[in-house]
Structure 1
Amino acid sequence: MKPVFANSAFVTVPERLFLCGGTWRRVPLKVRYGVFRHPAAGPVLIDTGYGPSVTRGPRGLALRLYNAILGPDLVAAGQPEAVLQRLGLKPGDVGTIIVTHFHADHVAGLHLFPKARIVAKADVLRKILKQPAHKNLHQGIFRDLLPVDLASRVDDVDGVGLREAPLGLGGGHDLFGDGSVLAIDLPGHAEGHFGLCFANLPTPLLYAVDAQWCAEALEEGRRPGFPASLIADDPQALAESTRRVLAFRQAGGEVLLCHDPAESRYDLAAEAP
């Protein structure tokens, strides 16, 4: 059961923003989301990437400003409907979406899947739905992008039993009860942020999502500081999560990050920015 990852958009930023010692050259970062077919659960999405709900159409002022600042360049062939069609699927075939955290570039396509169950941190979602809008905005979260019935469709990650992940990664929530996909808490980037370990692959894969923005930034001395640290929910926790991800890679595992500009063997054919 091998996941594949599509690129929903490019966000172009100076290299030194996400890599210590980087230059001022502008680098197009990817905005990945994943798809895999589980033998029992069927087609499953990992997040949904960026979509038109962020870049155009009716939106609140805060979301319009967010789009104006980041300027995501959507990849038409990388949008969920196009990717699913390429894989011989349609949105209605997706019964489960794993939401690693609630930032805009991970939830912008949730409205395309009104029947899907959402595997996520239920406590974090409850907090988002209760707290004032300005607190959500400070954390990079936009209620505009969350379906109104989302809470009723959530299966809580923390309610799933633990299983030991390979290569010293620690315990992970066994999402399907068969050891194939383990949700690994990687705090620091956002509240409730977690990655996914595909433990049964010949070389275990950790999709570490936003533990860092590129693989080089996992290394000591290349991890970005200010101003990138301003984006982190908890910089100390992020440093520890980064250390764990690097240790997993050094032990022989593969690591994939959401925004890494480098090509991965798990990526669908990329579109040029």
Structure 2
Amino acid sequence: MKIVFANSAWVGAAERLILRGGSWRSVRLRVRYGLIFHASEGPVLVDTGYTPEALTGERRGRMLRLYGALLKPKLNAAEQVLPVLKRFGLSPDDIRTVIVTHFHADHISGLSLLRKARFIASDAAWARVKSRTPRQNLRHGVFTELFPEDFETRLDGLSSKQHVEARNGVPGGADLFGDGSVIAVDLPGHADGQFGLLFAGFERPLLYAVDVQWLLRALTENRAPGFPATLIAEDAAAIEPTSAILRCFLATGGEVMLCHDPAPTLYDLPMSDPVAG
């Protein structure tokens, strides 16, 4: 199995807002999404990053327009979903599976581009989205206009997946493809239903921990930001226990990768070929 991550956009933030004790200097954060080349499932997307649908699309409501105006993401044209797929000789219709780690705009804004894909996501979190009013969903950072109209029809919920137990410091979770290659690990705190992806078969096990923190330093140096960053967390009390799980994983020799950390990794584009696991 191979995996590569692309950077859909850059977002600026003051360091001290995302790193306790940091400076006021601006940090350019990445907005990653992934592309897995799986032996039996074929090409699989992990989220979609930011796409024009979230920032200039005609379906945007007033609050999504305000969201874009406040955060001011700078789209990275070369690493948007469509050109990245083309780089690997793929079209959107070649993607039959998208893993949706959680429902924030910078992870789902391109779902409407994938007309033939099923969506592996938290069906429990989706049920809560459906039960809320539009205003309540906005308070949870969910803009429902970004979901394809047939999202529920194509939803392949985590509850249907076999559970793998934690072992030797390696987290357990839902076995997404039934072969142990990709495990969805529950990572509460940042967003309702957020899960990361464990690639245990790599020479050094990799855990893509999505948005547990914005910076890897906040995790490894135990410098998670407090107020006001915690205001936008789904469950602020869960952030530290989740971070502790990741530090334990690092201590056992695993590797943690985050969606927004600006430092390049071995799995990031640009490169001529995806990295082998």
- TM-score, structure 1 as length reference: 0.96
Deviates more, 1:235-244 or 1:105-114: 235-244
**Alpha-carbon distance in 2 for matches of 1:167, 1:251:** 8
In the alignment, is the contact (CA less than 8 A) between 1:165 and 1:199 conserved in 2?
no
The answer on 1:145 being equivalent to 2:146 is yes
Give the aligned partner of residue 18 of structure 2.
18
Give the aligned partner of residue 274 of structure 2.
none
Give the aligned partner of residue 30 of structure 2.
30
Give the aligned partner of residue 247 of structure 1.
248
Q: How does 1:34-45 map to 2 (within 5 A)?
A: 34-45=34-45
**Alpha-carbon distance in 2 for matches of 1:225, 1:130:** 30
Deviations 1:120-160 (A, max 9, x none): 01121122123101111011110110111100101111220
Letter in 2 for 1:213: W
* SS of equivalent residue, structure 2 residue 44: strand
In the alignment, is the contact (CA less than 8 A) between 1:162 and 1:174 conserved in 2?
yes
Give the aligned partner of residue 127 of structure 2.
126
* SS of equivalent residue, structure 1 residue 150: coil
In the alignment, is the contact (CA less than 8 A) between 1:84 and 1:91 conserved in 2?
yes
Give the aligned partner of residue 229 of structure 1.
230
The answer on 1:5 being equivalent to 2:28 is no
Q: How does 1:194-213 map to 2 (within 5 A)?
A: 194-213=195-214
In the alignment, is the contact (CA less than 8 A) between 2:2 and 2:38 conserved in 1?
no
In the alignment, is the contact (CA less than 8 A) between 1:165 and 1:197 conserved in 2?
no
**Alpha-carbon distance in 1 for matches of 2:129, 2:164:** 28
In the alignment, is the contact (CA less than 8 A) between 1:169 and 1:244 conserved in 2?
no
Deviations 1:54-74 (A, max 9, x none): 111322100000000000000
Where in structure 1 do 4 or more consecutive aligned residues deviate above 4 Å?
none
Deviations 1:65-114 (A, max 9, x none): 00000000000011100001111211111100000000000000000001
**Alpha-carbon distance in 1 for matches of 2:164, 2:132:** 33
Structure 2 unaligned segments of length 5 or more: list them: 272-277
The answer on 1:174 being equivalent to 2:175 is yes
Letter in 2 for 1:115: K
User: Once superposed, what is the RMSD of the aligned Cα atoms?
Assistant: 1.2
**Alpha-carbon distance in 2 for matches of 1:26, 1:170:** 34
In the alignment, is the contact (CA less than 8 A) between 2:92 and 2:115 conserved in 1?
no
Letter in 2 for 1:258: C
**Alpha-carbon distance in 2 for matches of 1:77, 1:43:** 19
The answer on 1:262 being equivalent to 2:260 is no
Deviates more, 1:230-239 or 1:204-213: 230-239
Letter in 1 for 2:268: D
**Alpha-carbon distance in 1 for matches of 2:113, 2:145:** 14
Structure 1 unaligned segments of length 5 or more: list them: none
**Alpha-carbon distance in 2 for matches of 1:18, 1:2:** 31
**Alpha-carbon distance in 1 for matches of 2:166, 2:46:** 19
Deviations 1:174-215 (A, max 9, x none): 111111000000111111110000010111000000011111
Deviations 1:191-250 (A, max 9, x none): 111000001011100000001111101135411111111111111111111110111011
Letter in 2 for 1:153: R
- TM-score, structure 2 as length reference: 0.95
In the alignment, is the contact (CA less than 8 A) between 1:99 and 1:107 conserved in 2?
yes
Q: How many residues are aligned here?
A: 270
* SS of equivalent residue, structure 1 residue 140: coil
